[in-house]
Amino acid sequence: MIETRPELALAPLEGRVIVRQDEVSEQVTESGVVAALAANRERPNSGMVIAANGVPVIYGDKVIFSKYAGHEISLNGEVLLVLRESDILTKVLE
């Protein structure tokens, strides 16, 4: 069964998950200077599931995934990540 947010016009195929990555936080040096270069920031490896199909996570779950996993897609100006089930390392329990 496909679990997805209502306004999402995508349905992942079997064993796939669509994730909205967590925001990149600003990097602040020890002296209090905010690093402005996006190139110096690492891509977050966590996010919220917004669609899933045939995997043990559902809409709204927070997950941690492999660092370079997935395929980025853009939908309505939002960048999303399509992951395989095997790319998900753990579900965050709150």
pLDDT of res. 69: 93
Measured between alpha carbons, how far apart are the two ends of the chain, in Å?
24
Q: Where are the domains of the chain?
A: 2-92
Predicted local confidence at residue 1, as pLDDT: 67
Backbone angles phi, psi at 51, to 5 degrees: -160, 140
Average pLDDT for residues 17-45, to the nearest whole number?
Answer: 71
Entry pTM? 0.77
Contact status, residue 16 vs residue 32, Cβ threshold 8 Å = no
CB 91 within 8 A of CB 85: no
- The CATH number that domain 2-92 falls under is 2.30.33.40
